[in-house]
Amino acid sequence: MIWANAVIQGVLVGGLYALFACGLSLMFGVMRIVNLAHGDFAVLAAFLAYSVISATGMSLLWAAVLTVPVFAVFGYFVQRGMLNRAMTGGALPPLLATFGLSVLIQNSLLQGYTADSRALSPGSIGTESIRINSQTSLSYLSLLVLGSAVVVLGGLEIYLRRGRTGRMLRAASDDPRATSLVGGNPRHLYGIATALAFGTLALAGLLFAARSSVAPSSGPSELLFGFEAVVIGGLGSLWGTLLGGIALGIAQNVAGQANPADTLLAGHLLFLLVLILRPEGMLPRRRPA
Amino acid sequence: MNALLEVENLSVRHGQLVAVSELSLVVNAGQVVAVIGANGAGKSTLLETIAGLLHAAQGRVVLDGTDVTRLPAHRRLRAGIALVPEGRRLFPSLTVRENLQTGQYRKRPGPWDLPAVYELFPWLPERSGQRASALSGGEQQAVALARALLGNPRVLLLDELSLGLAPVVIANVYRTLPRIVAQGTAVLLVEQDVNLALRSADHVHCLLEGRIRLSGAPAALTRDQIEAAYFGVLREAS
């Protein structure tokens, strides 16, 4: 039963990895941008929420309701003000730009908040849980995290498959010039993709901080989990990302059950195994013939 | 005459090369105007500049009295200029239906909707769930044309519809032109196939090295005149 518990807890944390990673997948899928500051923006969102909560005493839920749209708008302007410009120079400038943002955010947070870890209190749901048996109990917070991951990823999938603008995002991913010939402004569409990515990463950042804690320097390690979830699941497929996140969570938890020191190593090994044996990932996007 | 599209004194450069030079032409509502010329004469450059994909170095593009020279491509589509680009440029990972729906993203009011293009190309509905990349060249060309029509353009620019297609397929696509202009749409098409252009156009311009060498109604032009303008060699009548 200990092992079943490890698997279940792995599934629960995997949802969070997937929620965090879907923005990474979206930005790469639509614009071929690898956002190296993805983890740092999530940490930034958590710290801003921390400040808002400290100052006003509002609950985590309301802080999320406030932070997520603010970050989405912020993402739109990061894309239009900076990344669109960087993209005209090829693949390298956006990579350098986001690397620069990563350094900037980490050091600003260090300056403003010191190097201490902070946690966001989720309130009473942080301690309550459903008890299955003596070894397994599901905390409300973990269930909430997995539930929101499924809802957000499912919503994004429907938006991209069925929505008018979602369809244009896929079109822009195929051929930006042809997109402008049907009246879509690629720069605006890229802004929307980044806005979606920033909204989801802000939510993931808050949930990371509510589950455990974040420090100004935790962005890059979160980014690594995000990359691993995306690659294990298969690039460009949101359900694949969910599967990848869950696989990563299970690998980490099961290995951690055997030997806590191996937790992270097991995730990295799974990532390498997938790269070697099935580089297209578990659920790759169907490629046009 | 009601001039819908006016190109005035247009020049376009690709770096050092002047691809289109001081070119002027007019397309009226309900008219088909063809631009013919050899490879590299500047035909595609002309259409891409009118559509807003390329910048004009000089001159103006005027749509129904409004100067659109400074508008980017997506704004020109909303104003009513649609280009069916060379090589079709469908979205390969989208289905046929989704490709058509992208044409309605910023559509103007008008007669073209999904039932109307399905009537134009009756085989379309049964292929609508397939990926665009799974279609043959001629089918892709039809989808590209339908996608442009769904925006209800006032001016339709057609770049080398016949390129890479079998003659029977080309004839099928060109057969739709009279029905398109009957709705009041102006068509400016670029063609390497001179006979095809002469058959389908009301007015023909022959382009050589970025300049118009010869213009007129197809019936008013002789073979020799066209040949001379097309290849740039004047054969003395001896």
Model confidence over A44-89: pLDDT tens digits? 999 999 999 999 999 999 999 999 999 999 999 999 999 999 999 9
Quick check: B74 and A288 CB within 8 A?
no
Residue B183: pLDDT over 50: yes
How is A2-34 classified by DSSP, letter by letter? HHHHHHHHHHHHHHHHHHHHHHHHHHHHHH---
**CB < 8 Å to B82, chain A:** 181
B94 part of a folded domain: yes
Q: How confident is the model at residue B159 (pLDDT cuts 50, 70, 90)?
A: very high
How is B62-87 classified by DSSP, letter by letter? EETTEE-TTS-HHHHHHHTEEEE-TT
% pLDDT > 90, chain A: 80
Higher-confidence residue: A159 or A123? A159
Give the predicted TM-score (pTM) of the model.
0.92
Which of A159, A162, A181, A185 should we substitute to test contact with B (largest number of B Cβ atoms within 10 Å)? A181
Which of B102, B107, B150, B154 should we substitute to test contact with A (largest number of A Cβ atoms within 10 Å)? B102
pLDDT of residue B235: 54
Contacts of B146 (CB under 8 A, 6+ apart): B100, B103, B117, B120, B121, B124
Residue A269: pLDDT over 90: yes
CATH classification at residue B161: 3.40.50.300
**What rounded mean pLDDT belongs to chain A?**
92
Chains A–B, number of C-beta pairs less than 8 Å apart:
83
Residue A127: pLDDT over 90: no
Contact between A243 and A59 (Cβ < 8 Å)? no
Domain that holds residue A162: 2-114+147-277
B84 part of a folded domain: yes
Q: How confident is the model at residue B238 (pLDDT cuts 50, 70, 90)?
A: very low
A285 part of a folded domain: no
pLDDT in tens, A137-194: 888 999 999 999 999 999 999 999 999 999 999 999 999 999 999 999 999 999 999 9
A121 part of a folded domain: no
Query: Which stretches of B38-193 are DSSP H helices?
Result: 43-51, 73-79, 96-102, 114-120, 124-127, 137-149, 167-174, 177-181
Quick check: B102 and A174 CB within 8 A?
no
Mean pLDDT of B23-45: 93
A192 part of a folded domain: yes
Mean pLDDT of B154-169: 89
Which chain A residue has the Cα nearest residue B132? A288
Quick check: B93 and A164 CB within 8 A?
no
B99 part of a folded domain: yes
Most confident of A88-92, A261-265, B76-80: B76-80
What are A74's two structure tokens?
Answer: 């912020």
First to last CA, chain A: 46
Mean pLDDT of A219-244: 90
Most confident of A185-194, B136-145, B165-174: A185-194
**B162 phi and psi angles, rounded to 5 deg:** -85, -10
B203 part of a folded domain: yes
B214 part of a folded domain: yes
Choose the closest CB to B105 out of A177, A182, A286: A182
pLDDT in tens, B79-126: 999 999 998 999 999 999 999 999 999 999 999 999 999 999 999 999
Quick check: A182 and B52 CB within 8 A?
no
Mapped onto helix, strand or coil, the DSSP state of residue B40 is coil
pLDDT in tens, B126-135: 999 999 999 9
Contacts of A254 (CB under 8 A, 6+ apart): A3, A6, A7, A10, A266
**CB < 8 Å to B51, chain A:** 181
B238 part of a folded domain: no
A155 part of a folded domain: yes
Residue B1: pLDDT over 60: no
CA distance B58 to B64: 20
What are B119's two structure tokens?
Answer: 């009537």
Contact between A284 and A234 (Cβ < 8 Å)? yes
For the beta sheet containing B186-191, the strands, ordered from the edge strand earlier in sequence to the opposite edge, are: B81-84, B155-159, B186-191, B32-37, B203-208, B211-216
ipTM: 0.90
Domain that holds residue B112: 3-231
A63 part of a folded domain: yes
**What rounded mean pLDDT belongs to chain B?**
91
Q: How many domains does chain A have?
A: 1
Q: How far is B99 from chain A (nearest CA, A)?
A: 8
What are B184's two structure tokens?
Answer: 């009041």
pLDDT of residue A288: 40
Q: How many domains does chain B have?
A: 1
pLDDT of residue B171: 86
A182 part of a folded domain: yes
A126 part of a folded domain: no
